[in-house]
Amino acid sequence: MAPYTILVTDDDQDIRDGIEIYLKNEGYNVLKAANGVEALEQLLEHEIHLIILDIMMPELDGIQTTFKIREERNIPIIMLSAKVEDSDKIHGLSVGADDYVTKPFHPLELMARVKSQLRRYVKLGTYNEQQGKVTVGGLSLDTDAKELLLDGEPIKLTKIEYNITELLLTNVGRVFSISEIYERVWNEPAYNADNIVAVHIRKIREKIEVDPKNPRYLKVVWGIGYKIEKT
């Protein structure tokens, strides 16, 4: 396939240009943005496989940008920040970042983290050269055809079941709270959504799991929510 495209987002031009040099030396295509607004515009215009994203930026910071990206995409995000407190690192990772590098950093360390995230992204099936397709283990989702296959066999899902499955599969490994699942799928505020979501999760498990009581794919994270497990 063509080289991966990486988006470098930082309000410091020297940092953007410096990272670009190392990425191009590794054979990557590079796009650059000075803030979160520009980053989101680049995502609309280009196919991007990984984002290097500074936290402290004008107009739209890295945390807010990550929130917006994670509404629709599961692209790997490596956050950059001069902050060293554990709480800042945890905050960045909790909103959906995949890795975190503290400034100042050694460029070769950043390159190693980029390679690691891209390997994981491709190996786990969250990226597929065929647009609109996600594969995790024996599950294969075609978002264009709205079809789910299990070991090559089509699985019949209701509209709600499909929408929940698509949400989780296109964000493999990410935990969604019950309220977030309900609001994303039903498009309305989540009032007393626990039982409603749980019923649909149980039905999905019955269709995609060999042993629904010991699921391979659709996992519960107690006290938080649900996710599709990376297999």
Residue 202's Cβ-side half-sphere holds a number of Cα atoms within 13 Å equal to: 6
Q: DSSP assignment, residue 225? A: E
Residue 1 banded pLDDT, cuts 50, 70, 90:
very low
Contacts of residue 66, defined as CB under 8 A and 6 or more positions apart, other chains included, come to 53, 77, 79, 92, 95, 96, 97
Mean per-residue pLDDT of the chain: 86
Across 69-76, average pLDDT: 80
Length of the chain, in residues: 231
Identify the residue with better confidence: 110 or 82.
110
Express each pLDDT in 155-178 by its tens digit. Answer: 999 999 999 999 999 888 888 888
Q: Specify the pLDDT at position 223.
A: 81
Report residue 99's pLDDT band, with 50, 70 and 90 as the boundaries.
confident
64, 98, 123 - which closes a domain? 123
Note whether 224 and 142 are same-domain residues: yes
Nearest to 68 by CA among 32, 107, 97: 97
Question: Does the structure show a pLDDT above 60 at 198?
Answer: yes
Give the pLDDT mean for 109-127: 77
Q: 25 versus 82: which is more confidently predicted?
A: 25
**Residue carrying structure tokens 């010991």:** 214
Mean pLDDT, range 97-126, rounded to an integer: 81
Going by pLDDT thresholds of 50, 70 and 90, the confidence category of residue 70 is confident
Specify the amino acid at residue 184.
R
24 lies in the same domain as 97: yes
What's the rounded Cα separation, in Å, for the pair 43 and 229? 26
Distance CA 180, CA 64 (A): 17
Distance of alpha carbon 75 from alpha carbon 48, whole angstroms = 8
Q: Is 122 left (phi over 0), alpha (psi -120 to 50) or beta?
A: alpha
CATH number at residue 92: 3.40.50.2300
CATH number of the domain where residue 221 is located: 1.10.10.10
143/112 same-domain check: no
First vs last C-alpha separation in the chain: 24
Average pLDDT over residues 116-129: 65
pTM above 0.75, yes or no: no
Do 145 and 90 sit in the same domain of this protein?
no
Q: Which residues 6+ apart lie within 8 Å of 15 measured at CB?
A: 54, 80
In-domain check, residue 195: yes
Q: Scanning the structure block, which residue is given the tokens 């709205």?
A: 146
Q: What's the structural domain count of the chain?
A: 2
Domain boundaries, position 42: 5-123
In a domain, 173, yes or no: yes
Q: What is the DSSP letter of 187?
A: -
Report yes or no on 179 lying in a domain. yes
Q: Are residues 44 and 153 in the same domain?
A: no
Phi, psi of 68 (to 5 degrees): -70, -40
Question: Which residue carries 């599969």 as its tokens?
Answer: 169
Query: Per the domain annotation, does 128 fall within a domain?
Result: no
Q: Are residues 147 and 67 in the same domain?
A: no
- The answer on 144 and 109 residing in a single domain is no
